């Protein structure tokens, strides 16, 4: 930072001496402000996800990646990412599916593709999703400035686009339990790296709850209940039991 002060002061001295360098002064001032600006804390109601402010990007949930997933149980990640996808579909959230070299790494997870049967995943060669212009353009078309991302592997195919999207002015939430790494350490270090860059960690069930927010929003309650039954684990079992005790037909909804 002292070097920035030095460069600016040198420019100003040259200006006083008759040599005016406005572009160089502007460059160093901009650099200084970037270095001294503290990112605003993500707090308050506006910091929460809502159905009208976000888009979902699901990255590389393919056979090859699952084969070397060791940070989580594979069945857990499958359950969670499909639950996350169904959540987006239920709340009408724009969703982008993308794969990397699918002809070698395998097609998108079948259960995930079935949630969006009409959408063909963007098949990339870039390891960093955000370096594929088609992905960036598709995200821009949604008009949303808050992104929810999940992917395999956390430390590579998720961390890279998260960090780059932040620099492009997006607020990014990354879903820790719908993503995974080649080791627990790799996943954990990537989570820390993304947090340090300014992204927000969240779990898939928290996304569901945050989007619903109020049980008085009855329009989405049936879909939320169905997602809970199918993917909510113990919560889904408890809900089914409650319906049984109440003699409700909701379990068949």
Mark whether 157 is an active-site residue: yes
DSSP H or E run through 122: strand 122-124
Length of the chain: 253
Spatial CA neighbour of 133 closest among 98, 179, 185:
98
Tell me: cis bond preceding 138? Omega within 30 of 0 counts.
no
Q: Are 179 and 77 in contact (CB under 8 A)?
A: yes
How far from the centroid of its chain's Cα atoms is residue 40's Cα? 19
CB contact set of 23 (below 8 Å; sequence gap of 6+): none
Spatial CA neighbour of 12 closest among 36, 2, 24, 31:
24
CA 36 – CA 195 distance, rounded (Å): 19
Query: Which is the catalytic residue, given 112, 122, 157, 202?
Result: 157
Detail the DSSP E strand segments found in 154-213: 171-175, 200-202
Please give the order of strands across the beta sheet that includes 200-202: 122-124, 95-100, 54-59, 146-151, 171-175, 200-202
- The catalytic residues are 157
């Amino acid at each position: 930072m002292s070097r920035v002060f030095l460069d600016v002061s040198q420019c100003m001295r040259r200006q006083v001496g008759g040599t005016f360098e406005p572009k160089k002064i502007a460059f160093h001032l901009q650099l200084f402000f970037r270095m001294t600006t503290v990112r605003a804390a993500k707090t308050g109601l506006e910091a929460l996800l809502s159905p009208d402010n976000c888009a979902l990007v699901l990255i590389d949930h393919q056979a090859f990646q699952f084969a070397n997933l060791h940070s989580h149980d594979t069945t857990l990640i499958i359950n969670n990412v499909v639950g996350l996808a169904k959540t987006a579909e239920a709340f009408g959230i724009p969703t982008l599916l993308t794969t990397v070299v699918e002809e070698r790494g395998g097609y998108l997870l079948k259960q995930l593709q079935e949630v969006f049967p009409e959408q063909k995943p963007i098949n990339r060669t870039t390891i960093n999703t955000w370096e594929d212009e088609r992905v960036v353009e598709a995200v821009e078309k949604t008009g949303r400035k808050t992104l929810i991302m999940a992917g395999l592997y956390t430390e590579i195919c998720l961390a890279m686009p998260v960090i780059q999207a932040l620099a492009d002015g997006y607020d990014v939430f990354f879903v820790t339990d719908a993503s995974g790494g080649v080791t627990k350490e790799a996943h954990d270090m990537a989570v820390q790296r993304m947090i340090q860059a300014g992204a927000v960690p969240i779990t898939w069930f928290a996304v569901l709850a945050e989007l619903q927010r109020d049980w008085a929003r009855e329009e989405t309650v049936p879909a939320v209940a169905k997602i809970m039954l199918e993917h909510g684990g113990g919560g889904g079992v408890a809900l089914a039991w409650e319906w049984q005790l109440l003699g409700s037909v909701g379990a068949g909804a």
